Structures are given as structure tokens and as C-alpha cells.
Structure 1
Amino acid sequence: MRGSVNRPPTPEAEDGRQDQHLSLQEIINIKLVESGEKERLKELLRERLIECGWRDEMKELCRSFVRKKGKNNVTVEDLINVITPKGRASVPDSVKAELLQHIRSFLGSAAL
């Protein structure tokens, strides 16, 4: 298997065919990365989260947590553990729906 920092490992060919143990999710991820679509989707997500104020909400949650615990008593891991569940739960449904539509459109045109 080959890999790089920017993309997941690409399966090597075995006897002229790819490893058949890949899940559909892994195949989709490889296609998204190789086409550059994953980066475009990530940028779209960033833009939408900024537009709807989600990013500012997460910043404020982080600041509040740091004030509560004390600047010297908080690690990045602490912030991640506290903020990740709240952040995932608070992504607006409209943003999720738009991203899902883009993914469906990509899959339709990728002919998997």
C-alpha cells in the first residue's frame, strides 16, 4: 500500500486487480481524495460554518471552558474532548443537507 500525508493509502494491484477487501466507504474516500473533491467539500464546509456563525460559537465555547478551568490547566486534548460532541451536534441541518447533496452529486458522476 502506498500513502502520503495528503491522501489515504492507495491499494496496490494484486494480479492486475485491486484488493477486494476495501469497504465502500474506503473506496469512496479514495475517489474523493484522488479527484480533489474532498478538499473542495472541506472548503465548502468551512465557508458555510463561518457564514452561519458556528465557528464563532465554538470559539466562544473554547474561551468559556478555558476561563472556567484556568489557562494553565487546559490542554488541547481537553478542549477537543469537550468541544467535539457539542460542535458535531450543533452543525445546522441545512449545512449537512448541502454537503450531502454535493457528495451524492459527486458519487453520481463518479460511476462507482
Structure 2
Amino acid sequence: MRASINRPPTPDVDEEKRDEPTLQDIINIKLIESGEKENLKELLRERLIECGWRDELKAQCRALMRKRGRSNTTVDELVRNITPKGRAMVPDDIKAELLQRIQSFLMSVAL
């Protein structure tokens, strides 16, 4: 907040924006309220298992632990190193399917 001798503090632009939910916040709330978020998570889980993504990620985790040593690797380090690789490994067709489902959901609730 900016203050002046002659006037009360003026809220910064960032503080004003925090009061209003963003479009992303609104979409997330709608997904949660309708139960669609859980459905999408389950679909993603199934598709990743089907395409072998999960097994590949497990193998990469094991390889990293072998390389660094089990006692020298924390869960946080493992997550920090594997997360970018895991996100990059998600097949484009799965991303497209999820995007299509989200778009269909948004059209049905007519935001």
C-alpha cells in the first residue's frame, strides 16, 4: 500500500485484483462443484497407465535413486527432478482428449 501524509493509503493494483476470482478460479470451482474434476483426474490416471507413462516414470525415479544413492535422495529432490520430465512425457493425444473434455464441460455450463 502506498501512503501519503494528506490522504489514506491507496490500494495497489495487485491487491484489487486479488479480491475478484480469475476465470481460472471460476472454472476450477465449477469443475470441483460438478464432480467433473475428479472424473478428469480418473480419466488422466487411466490413460497414463494405458500408455505406459507411469511405468516409464517409475523407471526414471529408480534410475535417479541408483545414481544418487538411496540415502542421498530426498522425496523433494526426486519430485523436483522428475516433475518436468513427467509433464513433458504426457502424450499429446491425452492432452488433447482432456482439453476436449474441459471445453465440452465449459460449453455445457455456459460460462
Instruction: State the TM-score, normalized to the length of structure 1.
Output: 0.81
Q: Which has the bigger relative contact order, CA under 8 A and spacing at least 6?
A: 1
Percent identity (aligned): 69
In structure 2, what is the Cα distance between the partners aligned to 1:76 and 1:37? 30
Please tell me whether residue 87 in structure 1 is matched to residue 71 in structure 2: no
Please give the TM-score of this superposition, normalised by the length of structure 2.
Answer: 0.82
Which amino acid in structure 2 is aligned with residue 110 of structure 1?
V
| Separation (CA, whole Å) in 1 of partners of 2:31 and 2:71 | 40
**Structure 2 Cα separation of the partners of residues 111 and 105 of structure 1:** 10
Q: Which amino acid aligns with 1:62?
A: C
**Runs of 4 or more above 4 Å deviation:** none
Q: Which residue of 2 aligns with 1:58?
A: 57
Structure that is richer in helix per residue:
2
What's the RMSD between the two structures over aligned residues?
A: 1.3
Aligned to 1:72: 71
In 2: Cα distance, 1:37 partner to 1:76 partner: 30
2:25 aligns with 26
Runs of at least 5 residues in structure 1 that lack an aligned partner in the other structure: 1-19
Give CA-to-partner distance per residue, 1:39-61, whole Å, 9 cap, x none. Answer: 00000000000000000000000
User: AA paired with 1:74?
Assistant: T
Q: Which has the larger radius of gyration?
A: 2
Task: Give the distance between the partners of 2:34 and 2:60, measured in 1 at CA.
Answer: 35
- 1:105 alignment partner in structure 2: 104
Please state how far the C-alpha of 1:111 moved relative to its aligned partner: 1.4
Give the secondary structure class of the aligned counterpart of 2:21.
coil
Instruction: Kindly provide the amino acid, as one letter, of the partner of residue 55 in structure 1.
Output: R
